[in-house]
Amino acid sequence: MASNQLPGATVLASSGAASGLAFAPSALGPPTAGGAVAKEAAGSVGLRGAAKGLGEEPAHSAVEGHAGLALLAAGLAGCSALRGASRRSSATARPMAAKRRPTAVTRTGTARQAVATIARTEAEVGQKLHGWTCERIEELEELKCTGVLWRHDKTGAELISVEQPLEENKTFGVVFRTPPEDSTGIAHVLEHSVLCGSRKYPVKEPFTELLKGSMQTFLNAMTFPDRTCYPVASCNLQDFYNLVDVYLDAVLHPRALKDSRVLAQEGWHYEVENKDDPLTFKGVVFNEMKGVYSNPDSLQGRTLLNNLLPDTPYGVDSGGDPKDIPNLTFEYFKGFHERFYHPSNAKFWFYGDDPPAHRLELLDDFLRDFERKEVTSEITKQPLWKEPRCVEHAFAVGKDEDISKKSMACVSWVMDEDKPDLEMSLALSVLDYCLMGTPGAPLKKALTDSGLGSRVIGGGLYEGLVQPTFSVGLKDIKESDAKAVEALVIDTLTKVAAEGFEREAVEAALNKIEFSNRELNTGGFPRGLGLMFSAVSNWNYGKDPFEGLRFDAPLRAVRERLIEKREPLLEDLVRQKLLENMHRLTVTSKPDVEQGDKIEEQEKTRLQEHRATLSDEDVESLIRETKELKELQEAPDPPEALATVPRLELSDIPEATQTIPTELSRVGNAEVLKHPLLTSGVVYVDLAFDLRDVPADLLPLLPLFCRGLRQMGTKKSDFVQLQRRIDLATGGISATPMVSAKRGSEEPVAHLVMRGKAMEAKVSSLMDLMAEIATEVSWDNKERFVQLAKEGLAGGRSQLLSSGHVVAATRLGQQTTAAGWASEQLAGLSQFQTLGSLIDLAEKDWPSVEARLRRLQASIFKSACVVNLTADADALPRLDTHVEAFLSQLPEGQATSPFWTPEYTKTNEGIVVPSQVNYVGKAANLYKDAGYELHGSAMVTSRLLRTTWLWDKVRVVGGAYGGFCSFDVRSGDFKYLSYRDPNLQQTLDTYDGTAEYLRGMEVNDDLLAKSIIGTMGDVDKHQLPDAKGYTAMLRHLLGETDEMRQELRDQILGTTGEDMRRFADALDAVSSSGAVCVVGGEEAVRGASEKLGLSIVSPLAAAAATAPAE
């Protein structure tokens, strides 16, 4: 429920992050192994290429969650957070609107293997059923299923019903076209507000009640620049129907239309508690967007969109500009819902193994109350310009920052007057990949090699709007170099158009795109929702929705034209869509050390001027309204209202822990794990190399070392040729460090994990490439390495500004365990500081840096590793010879050194960044500081706190975008964190009041059951086959047996209210002796420094830019 960093999609609430997995993974589920996996998943959502927003690099945007329950983990892209499968709900399930619940489709082992047969429908064109008429039936060969387009007889609503009996993760979504007319954020605020109670569910937050007691695999809402989406997913049929029912009632009959206090809470309101207090603005979306506008990357993307398509709804900000949000009135709020949230403007989606006829009945129960209505919501197209344009804007930086190279320049085009057909869309995707998709692609390489900036921005092609766009540029440039960036882009495109693309590069692009589409690996994102977004990208604009679900025939046609006929298709597109296209915009973003103060002063002046117009009676009225709103927010929902919200029963949760089939063997010094799972011919290979021989002083170099493995080239190929070979033969190769605490041990578990995937016929090539990368990587290209470091430094700066809670969490974690210390060295503030000093060292003394890299390589890659294979059962035996050949290429030996033993110093820290909001953290280690012994009830209690006390006090009352906590059962770390928070001390006071809240809390049977069910949803999260295999490997590395997981599961299922209250004794340690870390603006952080005893750090200050890590 949020406006995304960039205008691609605005994401609400990934339930997934509600579990806090980003910081403290459950011992029953996989730990987070860094952002690489999540990024890869986000990049493959839907068909025809990476999911990304305009001006956004593929798979790089962060996820924003409703109430902050979706953690903006470092690199986490794509709405992840899965809950697991359970058996069908019992007959004692809670109240539901629909009259009957059909049973789910039974899936036998035979049925699951029948992937070559298309699942056909019983529907017929012209058939009438449950108030709907079947208009079209499409066999989706690529997906091995059938899609049916239905139209509702009474309202004209459209439904795509995809019948896929092999998919247990059922998905539903409703999409409304919601073109904004101004930047008050009306669409965004309404998206938040409709989930705050409805006709059938008269509670303040049905959304949180669902989070408490659902096995959902996805529970979210998204505000796009021109539409609003409400998707849900679950593997449990009863749970799925519960989610659909609550969401349908929410969007069609929200409480918010009758209670202006919902707008006040979610959007904005004046707040004043005492007569002499100054007025302030409060509101969840208001503070969320202040955080967004504090991020220069986000601001640049929004400026680009608004000015590239100024005569369309994209000319304003659907997420809301903080200076305009307070102009939103209750009357306009209600009118917007009345205009656009009507079935006649709705597009519904179902996908999965649920009975298709019941989908129609369920929807008709809601829609039959409405009459057909003419809704004017078509998205205006932008007329193409005759001349290019330029725009400049300022963004805030700290007063002590070096701004000599902090500008950005981005060149963008609207590529056509309309959306292209599927064949042209695929051709544009190939062009995009050839120009920008790899480090060696000519446009990306030219910008990177120019030395003008630190990092390529823009993201290339974006087709998620009414017209396709293309954007590319550089960040961290001199202001005077903006024209040089524009000229370099044009010159490079001119050269490409004249000289053409290398044939092998085109083949690699085609293979990469085809592999991604056939695999359809959406990572933590339900496949059905990825497909929905692909369909909606056409459907929303009156185009064929099924076209967005196909790729076979058009890809063959594009391949024939490019490879067999050798047509200059791509070169022609460069000329027609870019060089000869005058609808070009250059956006220059300039740092301004005064901008932050200007924005704050403008807000203060506005509030003072309004205050001056108020009489004493007006002020008293505002004081009364402030008090009444807080009383409403803090008052519990009546039991009878809570009872209306449907949930599962504890009897629906399997008592036995889920297991992953695993065969363990040895080949020489290596352990080999095999997982026979249905992968449709794809082989997934994970290689884990122990890091215990890595010296502590080299550990901060490891993230850049991992990037270099893929992007420095080898003895056989430079980095351009290496990437091309990877794309021609595989689905991709990655390398990332994985560090985790281990239950019962002071030592961490730390590995470098290389991951690759390929069709079985190409496994030999895949493993040869992985061996070549590990043993023959070339470290002699100083310029290339420095550029990688600069890109990492730029990414670190973005994280400091957009994901301050992640920074705070890692800083707190380094004070308690070796795993926490190592994680902070690899992905925290220390890593950012290290990169600055490393760049300086590389420029002055490259041989010493190269020597460090070679020491790292020698200390990591040894034959005593873990080889993890996930594939179809019949393929696994055929992989043995490939494994043996791979291992034979590695140096003999195994890691023998003891792990790092850092010294731990408790420190309260304030990290100053140019931000209008704060990120407030407090933490302690419950095992060491409170003597707590692990019991599964701690996981239930932590989840309860996230969805009650912290949600209510930090988000609802405090106005922060998110407030949450996490408990790492492996390390014992318990962390409180807030996200885009207007407060600081008030939030810390809330944290310190948690133990007393627990002691005084009344835990009735309903609340207890919800908390247990929601926790089991975190534990039994749904996973695709590659993720299951990877999870099994991590459990093996961590020594977590099925018996250990079963014991913890039994404790979770047996949790009592007394168990929860006892946890308060452990939390006393956080209140009394926990460390504090705050990331925020200078005034807020320095204002709290004396009281909290903060050690102040200004990592973006000019003097600190190249300071060594502490």
Rounded distance between C-alpha atoms, residue 259 and residue 715, angstroms: 68
The amino acid occupying position 987 is T
At a CB cut-off of 8 Å and minimum separation 6, what does 395 contact? 296, 299, 300, 589, 590, 591, 592, 595
Q: How far is CA 1008 from CA 161, 291, 1004, in A?
A: 36, 35, 6
Point out the catalytic residue in the list 266, 401, 791, 1082: 266
Residue 810: CA count within 13 A, CB half-sphere: 25
* C-alpha dist (Å) from residue 220 to 15, 231, 681: 7, 6, 32
The DSSP secondary structure of 495-529, one letter per residue, reads: HHHHH---HHHHHHHHHHHHHHHHH---TTS-HHH
DSSP state of 18: G
Q: Is residue 266 annotated as part of the catalytic site, yes or no?
A: yes
Between CA 1005 and CA 1008, with CA 1007 as vertex, the angle to 5 degrees is 65
Q: How many CA atoms lie within 13 A of 676 on its CB side?
A: 10
Q: What is the DSSP letter of 579?
A: I
3-state secondary structure of 462: strand
Q: Which amino acid, 1088?
A: A
Supply 198's token pair: 């409805």
Residue with tokens 């913890």: 1048
CA distances from 317 to 10, 226, 306, 591 (A): 11, 10, 7, 21
Grouping H, G, I as helix, E, B as strand and the rest as coil, residue 309 is coil
d(CA 1097, CA 1104): 9
608: number of Cβ within 10 Å: 11
Closest to 785 in 3D by CA, of 830, 857, 843: 843
- Asked if residue 964 lies in contact with residue 977, where contact means CB atoms within 8 angstroms, the answer is yes
- Side-chain half-sphere CA neighbours of 889 within 13 A: 15
Cβ atoms of residues 737 and 706 within 8 Å: yes
805 in Cβ contact with 978 (< 8 Å): yes
Question: CB count, 10 Å around CB of 1043?
Answer: 8
Question: What residue type is assigned to position 654 of the chain?
Answer: P
Pull the structure tokens for residue 275. Answer: 């007569």
Strands 128-129 and 132-140: antiparallel
DSSP 803: -
Amino acid identity for residue 790 in this structure: K
Rounded to the nearest angstrom, the gap between the alpha carbon of residue 1108 and the centroid of all alpha carbons in its chain is 31
Catalytic, out of 64, 191, 288, 486: 191
CA separation for the pair 1105, 810 (Å, rounded): 20
Compute, in degrees rounded to 10, the torsion defined by CA atoms 508, 520, 349, 165: 140
Q: Report residue 1035 as tokens.
A: 């459990």
Token digits of residue 857: 């390589």
- The H or E element that residue 610 is part of is helix 595-612
Strand 909-912 with 919-925, pairing: unpaired
Tokens coding 609:
């001027």
Distance CA 673, CA 868 (A): 5
Of the candidates 162, 194, 137, 549, which has an alpha carbon nearest to the alpha carbon of residue 348?
A: 162
Residues annotated catalytic, as ranges: 191, 266
